[in-house]
Structure formats: C-alpha cells, structure tokens
Amino acid sequence: AKAQGRNRFSYFTPGLQTAALARLRMTNDLRTAIAENSLRVYFQPIVDIHSGKIQKAEALVRWLHPQRGFISPMEFIPIAETSGLIIAIGDLVFREALCWVRKWRELYRPDFQISINQSPVEFQGDQERYINWIHELALQNLPGQAISVEITEGLLLDASQKITSKLLQFRDAGIQVALDDFGTGYSSLSYLKKFDIDYLKIDQSFVRNLATDASDIVLPEAIIMMAHKLDLKVIAEGVETQQQHDLLKQAGCDFAQGYLFSKPLPPEEFEMLLQRQKT
Ligand code: C2E
Ligand code: CA
Ligand code: CA
Ligand code: CA
C-alpha cells in the first residue's frame, strides 16, 4: 500500500491525520472539484400518482472524486455549508437544472418542473442571489413554475423578515416551494398556514414501514388530509414497493418519488424515461 504513494489517501485514516485535517483536505478537494467541473447533477423522477406520468424531477448533486469514487452529498454538503462552497454548488445545480428543464418542457412536457434543494445555510444567505436566479429564468424565457425550491421545516421556525421576504420573492416570480423531509423536524403546523408553501414532501421514514404494519398509514393519511385542507399537494419520498405506492394512492397522496420508479439518473438517462412515456 505504501508503494502506491502519497496520492492514495483516505480522508479518515485514524492516526494518519486528525479529523480536522481530513475536513480541510476535503474542503480543498471540493473547491477543486467545483473549479474543474467535476460535480454532476442527477435527476430523480417525481410521478403523478394517479396518471403515472413523470411530472417533475428532483435535482441531486453528485461528486465523482478521482480517488474515492462517488462521495455522498450527506458527506460533503455539511462541509460545503461550513466552508461557504454551498453557494457555488447551489448555483451550479440551478444552472444545470435550468438547461435541462428548458429542453424537457420543449420536447416532452410543457409543464415539467425541476426541484432544487436549498440547505438552510444557503437559503439564509444573500438575497441578491435569488434575484439573479429569477433574472436567469426570464432570460431563458422560462416561467417561475419551471422550478421549485425544497426547504426544510426548521427554517420556518425562524420566522425572520429575511426568510419571509425570500418566500414572497419566490411567490412573486412563480417559483414554487416544497417543504422537504416533512414530519422529521419540528412539524411546525401553524407555519404551514402562515407561509405560502405549495408542496409537502412526506419523509421516507413514514413510507418505509407502510406495508409491514397496517396502522402505519394513519400518519401519512392525516398529513395528506391536513395538507389538502391547506391547499398543498403532497409528494411521498422513498417509495420503493408497489404496495407502498398503492397505500399512498388510496390515502389521497398526489405524487410519489422513489426507487420503485427510478434511482436518480444522469440527465441523458433521465431523458430516456421521458421519451419512453411520450409514446
Ligand atoms: P433529500 O433532499 O431528502 O433527497 C432524497 C434522498 O433520498 C436522495 O439521496 C435520494 O437518492 C434518496 N432516495 C430517493 N428515493 C429513494 C428510495 O426509494 N429509497 C431510499 N432509501 N432512498 C431514496 P441523496 O441523493 O444521497 O441526497 C441526500 C441528501 O443530500 C438530500 O436529501 C439533500 O438533503 C442533500 N442534497 C442532495 N443534493 C443537494 C443539492 O444540490 N443541494 C443541497 N443543498 N442539498 C443536496
Ligand atoms: Ca429534497
Ligand atoms: Ca427529503
Ligand atoms: Ca400555495
């Protein structure tokens, strides 16, 4: 192993370097990856549960590291947040999403939408950034509805003017907002009414056991009913089996996303799914 030289490293080899050093190294690598354009954006279908049609996609970032292979966003997003690189990553994902949503609306579905994750750190950043996004949409002749933004519940607890004005900014531009991982955080139900949110994404943890215990549908059912009363659409995440899908459909869920339909795919492969559904 030693003969393979200094370039063969692992971020977390104990004794070789401290965790802090490993993080520093990862931050530098991430910076290089952004500069050298080696982050990729994958797309996972979001299916209309009643028609079976792919109506949306979630954009999910991927890092192909020269030594380590694919690194999970769960591992590098926190590092991107503390280093500030999350802004460059978010902008990169936005630009890539815009390019594909434009093509796919033209070729396959005029109302196609791509959703983009916004971590709390980036959402709380500079307002100017979203002004640029809205400007970019207009330049590409795209309506705001071509994009939706996924935020997490915790953000709404902090009902500061900064958060409110960004949500208003999105609404004015027609950009939709989804509440991600719903049910895992503070479940701030009162905020759902207060803020203009368009979609609730039921967290995977509510979907996982749906088929094993009959009473497990009770919570998703209640969430769906409440969401509909507040005029929100519901997307179920992590749908892996037909049985989970059928139970959610019965409970009135609007959209489903998960391995049952497809894993996140590179854009060219995702496009083949759209192509196949067209005929
Ligand atoms: P998330 O937003 O909750 O994304 C859903 C995650 O669930 C994705 O993991 C997706 O690949 C995975 N998933 C989808 N369907 C299934 C299924 O049927 N079963 C199971 N077990 N998993 C499924 P991924 O791509 O590894 O992303 C992890 C997290 O990283 C995301 O969770 C999100 O919080 C964050 N993330 C990913 N891309 C971005 C990004 O561009 N910006 C930001 N800020 N965060 C991102
Ligand atoms: Ca998400
Ligand atoms: Ca989620
Ligand atoms: Ca709304």
If you measure from the C-alpha of residue 61 to the centroid of ligand 1, how many angstroms do you get, rounded to a whole number?
A: 9
Q: 100 or 124, which is more confident?
A: 100
Best mutation site among 39, 42, 77, 207 for ligand 1 pocket (most ligand atoms within 8 Å of CB): 77
pLDDT tens figures, 106-163: 999 999 999 999 999 999 988 899 999 999 999 999 999 999 999 998 888 877 788 8
- Counting from 1 in the atom list of ligand 1, the atom nearest the Cα of 201 is 3
Structure tokens at 89: 């990553």
Best mutation site among 114, 117, 240 for ligand 1 pocket (most ligand atoms within 8 Å of CB): 117
Pairing of strands 176-182, 147-152: parallel
Give the Cα separation of 251 and 219 in Å (integer): 10
Structure tokens at 18: 């401290």
Q: 16 or 161, which is more confident?
A: 161
User: What 3 state SS string does 29-68 have?
Assistant: HHHHHHHCCCEEEEEEEEEECCCCCEEEEEEEEEEEECCC
Based on the number of CB atoms within 10 Å of its own CB, is 133 exposed (0-12), middle (13-18) or buried (19 or more)?
A: buried
Task: Indicate whether this model's pTM tops 0.90.
Answer: yes
The answer, yes or no, to whether any atom of ligand 1 lies below 6 A from the CB of 180, is yes
Structure tokens at 156: 């709404």
Give the Cα separation of 140 and 137 in Å (integer): 5
Protein residue with least CA distance to atom 23, ligand 1: 238
Residue 102 CA, distance from chain mean position: 18
User: What mean pLDDT do residues 161-177 have?
Assistant: 92
> What is the pLDDT of the chain when averaged over all its residues?
91
Torsion of CA 115, 118, 123, 129, to 10 degrees: -60
pLDDT band with cut points at 50, 70 and 90 for residue 3:
very low
Structure tokens at 148: 């939706």
Residue 185 has pLDDT above 80, yes or no: no
The answer, yes or no, to whether any atom of ligand 1 lies below 6 A from the CB of 119, is yes
If you measure from the C-alpha of residue 99 to the centroid of ligand 2, how many angstroms do you get, rounded to a whole number?
A: 20
Is residue 171 within 8 A of residue 202, CB to CB? The reply is no
Residue 1 has pLDDT above 70, yes or no: no
Based on the number of CB atoms within 10 Å of its own CB, is 123 exposed (0-12), middle (13-18) or buried (19 or more)?
A: buried
The answer, yes or no, to whether any atom of ligand 1 lies below 6 A from the CB of 258, is yes
The answer, yes or no, to whether any atom of ligand 1 lies below 6 A from the CB of 223, is no
Q: How far apart are the first and last CA of the chain?
A: 53
According to DSSP, residue 265 is labeled B
Give residues whose Cβ lies within 5 Å of ion ligand 4: 196, 198
pLDDT band with cut points at 50, 70 and 90 for residue 187:
low
Phi, psi of 101 (to 5 degrees): -65, -30
- Chain length of the chain: 279
User: What mean pLDDT do residues 60-68 have?
Assistant: 92
ipTM above 0.95, yes or no: yes
Nearest alpha-carbon partner for 33 in 89, 81, 77: 89
User: What mean pLDDT do residues 99-107 have?
Assistant: 98
- Counting from 1 in the atom list of ligand 1, the atom nearest the Cα of 72 is 26
Protein residue with least CA distance to atom 3, ligand 1: 181
pLDDT at 163: 86
**DSSP of 223-251, one letter per residue?**
HHHHHHHTT-EEEE----SHHHHHHHHHT
User: What mean pLDDT do residues 49-71 have?
Assistant: 94
If you measure from the C-alpha of residue 74 to the centroid of ligand 4, how many angstroms do you get, rounded to a whole number?
A: 29
Residue 239 has pLDDT above 60, yes or no: yes
